[in-house]
Structure 1
Amino acid sequence: MKNPLHYVKVAAAKALTKLVMQALANARSEPQNRASWPTKAQASGISKRFMKNFNNYFDEIGIPLIEQAKSETDEFASLSQIGHYHLEAMVAMEGMVKQRREAEIAGMSSLTVRLESMLPGIRVDEANNPFDPEQIADCFNEAIKPMELEAQHLLKVYEEFDKSVFGELESIVTEINTMMISMKVLPELETHPQDSAKHLEGKVAEHAQPLLQQVEENPKIESEPESKSAHDSSQSSVNENSKSTEQTPPAVSASKIARTDWLAHMQQLLHSKSGQSHALVKHATENVEIASNTEMAADEERMQVQQESLLELLDRVQFNLQNSSKNSSAPSETNAAGVAQAINESLKQAQENGELGPIQAQSADVINLIVVLFDIIEKDEALLAVLKELVRRIQIVMMKIALRDTSFFYCQDNPARRLIDELIHAGVGWTQSSKLDANPVYHTTKRILKMLLDEPKPDNDYIETLLGELRQAKTRALGKTLALESRILNLPTLTDHPDDIDAFVRQKIHERIRNRDLDPFIQILLKTYIHNFLFKLVTREGFKGQSWKSVVSTLDVLLWTMQPEKQFGDLERFKRVNPRLLENLSKFLSIGGASKSKITKIMRQLKQIQEFTFYQAEAGIRPEHSEDQESFTSNVILSTRGRKEVPPLKKDDPNVVRIGGLPLDSWIEFRGSSGERLRCTLASKIESIDKLFFTNSDGEKVLEITRLRLAHELKAGTVRVISEGMIMKRAMQSVIAYLSKTSRTGARAEDS
């Protein structure tokens, strides 16, 4: 029997290709297109190429990007040669992709988790997810490219593609999730709770055949009914939902799942046999009187009074823990278990004194889930002592927020969740506590956390304000201005705001040359002709499209060739990419206003500087580094240090796959010669020269390394990947995994 992933690929390819064919048919139905394009034969060819491209993209999920990527210094066509309509069509497609991504396709996060479960050791994200709108758009663009359509026809086809393919993408994702559930791929994982059940039912009904029936090779797998587990009275409403999904066909199951939110699923696991085997899940509410949800719902006024009393009690617990921490010389027990113990004692005492009646079952579940969540966050290896202490302070605050708004558990855009993400991401690199007094981001973090603790009822708007302050502090520390980029994104017409675009381009150039030891000629070139070129590019296309990415990548290659520090193999890489690099740069300069004679002189001087940097390296002349850069470079323990070449590894080697899929902003950790932790974050990649560039928390480059060398370091155990992306998403998934697995301690106690 073939791998289930094969059947998912075949089903998705067929369904998406059918939608592409519909888009092409709709484009031809326009009166002005009938006589010219597309014919049935042409449409068939495009559809076949699309299906082939999609299958190839799907097969490449687990292949490192260096194996897939074309050279990022491919020829960049002069903007002056792009007609208005072609430019409009390009921008239109990029806008469609952006719009679909921002809309948060229902069920996509669950689909991503399921794909990752079938691909051990591989991270699935926007860069390699074949269901991502940009990947699907790329498949279509490559399929339609040989037609060399006229611009106005291309724009019309893109519009129909947006309606027919992107417009139905959510239903495809829903059906693929349903298919994977029937194949027993994480059947307990539910779709996004904000999915509209009515919407999904309509989408599923529109397809005459479920995807399982469309795949001729697909094995017949019968859906087993969910096992009934005895829950206490607090789970009566949850049980009703779970019963309704038993022994239902796949198409119906998708709609039922959509009605059951993520919190209800976590509650089911919390009260399951495996969940209850963990002492921590009931620590905060053990021996506390709890009323069922049904009982409390019958008396809404009583429920509101009890909720407010519970929140006031949590305020007192928070206040007492803060004071005990200030007044005691010994470290306070403010970890998750310690907080749970304090809450439990206060709840029992309040009920004994008659100050608090039975608490609602859902409130008890929320409290226990937050305890488990923060226990998992605290144990994440990305958090060092100073960061753990900051996170522990806000556990009860987040508990109160979740009690008021349960979207905390399922909405990734929840402001409180994003604040935790930003807080931890800001502090992952705080490895040297002695330097924190001079760290402005650390001081901002402490200040906004104090504001959060002091605010009686922090709502979403208040948290958004704190979130904005933290982001501003982070961007200022890196020499950026967040407000400017946000303003550019929100401008209705770029051509009417030249001053903003000029400032934005200057900022982006500054980010590129910050902390670099560059020849003054290069700096002047970037601030004149290259600046003019970037100004024209942003004015015409904005800075979120593929053209901007290609140009920035080309400039990164230019700056790499100009840096005085070289490594073994760099000369060969330089010889391979430089001819195309200089060709592209001459086009940039021409669009930027340089004359032909001026371009010739600039090219001559660029080559001289490039050659001189290699001469410096051969002569052993090293550039000056900051104290932090020098400390990292000299102290880091590398298994490949001193080796000119390292042996190749197979492309499916798990270490190669892990490094190949490492997203930007990931943090890795080395050990120093004295045992100290040395952390750095992936700041940029240059595919064409196979280089990864890492910076410290201050934005200074501390490591330049090839994927192969880093894979060898990972294999040797000299480096660890400690953080890939934001923490809250993986922490929530870890809560589900934790509750789904029986505790060994609980199992032993039961056996005895």
Structure 2
Amino acid sequence: MSLAQAGTATARDDRDERDDDDAPIDPARRSALLQDCSGMVVSQLSGAIAEALKKVGDDLTALALRNRDPAAQQALLDAVTLVRRHHADIEARFREMFADIFARRIHGDDDGPADAPAGGLALVDDSVIEEKIAFDRIIQRARSKLDPDEVLGIRARLGVLAAGDWFDEDNHPAAPEAVFEALRRTLAQLNAEAGVRDALLDAIEPHVSSNLGAIYTTVNERLRSNHVLPRIRPQVVTAKAQARRAKAAQPPAPAPDSAVAAPAADPAIESVPAGEDPFVLLAARLADGTTPARLAAARLLANPASFGAGKSPPAVETGLLDSLHAIQAGCGESGAGGPRLLDEMLEKGRTMGSPLDQLTVEIVSQVFDHLYADRRLPDTIKQQMLRLQVVAVKAALIDRSFFASRRHPMRRLLDEICRAASDPDADVGPDSALVGGVAEIVDWLLASFESDLSVFDDAAMRLDLLLSIESQRRMERDAALARQAERLEALVLAQEQARAEIRARAGESAPAFMVDFLDRSWYRVMAMLRVEDGDAAWRDALACIDALVWSVQPKESPEIPRLASLLPKLIAELNRGLARAGVDKSDQERFFNELLKRHGEVIQRAKVGAAGPASPLPAFGQPAAPPREAVASRPAEPPVSPEIARQLGDLRRGDTLELLEPDGARRRLRISWVSPTRRLFVLTRHPEVARPVERAELARWLATGRVRLADAETAIERTIATIAAGKAGLPA
């Protein structure tokens, strides 16, 4: 058995028992090594993709010639066309996409692949399943070609640099899943059809896999030479290592199956004294019967330590569970919510259940009361979640860790529904695919769930597949937004450059009316021409400035014919640009009237010999090299505090912000795009909002409190925290 196999079977590095070689890494050095490794992996993989794109065209063409299936043949030919037309774009987009995924995985906040595992076939089209199967096949093929020991080294060493424990095989930052997911998303942004994506991924895989192993070796050598786990020892997972990993996770996740039952640090959670049976304590609180005692019992139920001490809670009363089965069977498709159902369940809990059963039913009912009152959840999703009340009560009675553990199957499902519905970009209209899909899942749970909690895993898989379809819709919309935002940022940069050129060429030598015209109107023409038509049009626009300035300077009599020859071409060029940029007609008229007047004065003075020294006529259409002052530089942004700078630096695509509107309402918006320079952020909300915000403006909003990062907790988590903190009363 290889070292990697041993490590996979038993391994985690318990860093409480490390050698001197494995001493803790200074945070600054850890950050530097992480940056070094990230740059190395991104650069080398991008190079591998670039080389692969040069080679796959011939491979795909050969496959197309051999293939007898017309549809498959067309997909292969379309893939060839895509590579030839968008070679550079694929390289650039992949680099950005993979760098983003790598960083997210390092920090533990990667949202994973957009496609979920196959399952729940009734909710998705067959093509989605087929694409997922093809994608998984590519991943497995790539993984099979990697050296297990090098993979183990990457998992362990990058885990140490991330200040956590070893990464799992499929979620470390440089895993094949990350590489091919970045490629898949890149191709999706280019609107490649599924068959074309599959063909390209399949063709690129051998080229990437052959380089990936070498990249792993290089990174491992670099980290070994920097004394990051120079020797890796496979060890059994210890409770101490598990507890340390759970503590490092953000947000912190309770570990009900942990072997350690440490006292809870949260004052809202009832602690469990060492050596005590938490459920004996809970029974004593319930026997007391007073409101404070019942609240203490509720806190015990919300404490993960209560379920990690090797003790089991009392089972639910069979009669109560049978009565809830009957209530669920009568719900049908019309719903499983409402006051009458709630009253019926509470009555069953009082008359047929134990005190613990009664408390559980009461707390679940309060959870749904809070969900109903939560304004951040759309009503369409609330209606579906309320139908799950009886299912949630049964699940909480069968597995009492519902309130203590985010990993409880039913709670995990509710959390995911809340998270999806709270996304500002989610389409939660009554007829939307998301709401319809959630309704189907609810129908299926009402029909299927009796006492086997594994049905919630199936439901979660169905939800994942549903969300992958929603993610595809969003990805297509985001790609269009990105193109618009990229153009907008290019336009802003070009406008800055245009104004810098105007200041350099006309700032001191041109009359005030001309400088005003250039700075208010012509800069827009220049920027538009540069972005849409390129450098040649930009040079023509610069030539117009030079010619305009020359035209109003003093002339000698022999220069008048040259001025007369220049003006028609100059005026025509100006008119074309101004019309194309949509400059106001009245502004144009005022400028040309003043220009005509000034030209008359220049000509009159030249005739009477009152001109100054002659100035050279610029070569219209071929301006001289710009003066040094014309090189545009971005005006310095207002200084921001270190804290605001940190907040800006932490913002990532996909984050949700809460924006305070002038009417006092807070609106949730999603960061759908961040420019490579981080100067422009696009905030969106389905269906109508796409709001570009410059960095300086966003900094002002953060500093004044107008915008803030939205709470990452789901509605379920907020509700349970409220109940555990005693802010929701329990009847005595």
Judge same fold: TM > 0.5, yes or no. Answer: no
Indicate the structure whose relative CO is greater, using CA pairs within 8 Å and at least 6 residues apart: 1
Q: Which TM class, normalised by the smaller chain length?
A: 0.3 to 0.5
Determine which structure has more spread, i.e. the larger CA radius of gyration: 2
